Amino acid sequence: MKKKQREAKSKHSKNKLEQKSTTEPPDSEEEESFSKWLRSSEGLENLKLFVIGNSVLIFLLVSWPQIKETLETAYYMYIEYQNNVSLTNQ
């Protein structure tokens, strides 16, 4: 039952979006082609990918110092462990 309601809502919103794209006059020829593409299903999918990619990039940029520090700590712990193992084997 809920699935049918969701499908009906998504169809309704798609129809509404299609109607909106055909009723609004474009400001310029360039804007018309970009707006048309952006409102298409391909444009919306690309916009979703852009938002996800941008979110990942922002996350990495913000968290990079902590990631770098963690990796360096793990590397030095590994090197220290290897040195201790080689000393005990001699």
Query: Same domain for 60 and 22?
Result: no
Residues 16-23: what's their mean pLDDT? Answer: 61
CA distance 64 to 36: 38
- pLDDT 10s digits, 27-86: 666 667 888 888 888 989 999 999 999 999 999 999 999 999 999 999 999 999 999 888
Query: Same domain for 51 and 72?
Result: yes
Buried b (16+ CB within 10 A) or exposed e, 14-33: eeeeeeeeeeeeeeeeeeee
Q: Which domain holds residue 28?
A: 1-39
Structural domains of the chain, count? 2
Query: Same domain for 18 and 58?
Result: no
Global model pTM greater than 0.85: no
Non-local (6+) Cβ contacts of 54 within 8 A are none
Query: Same domain for 83 and 58?
Result: yes
Length of the chain, please? Answer: 90
Query: Same domain for 62 and 77?
Result: yes
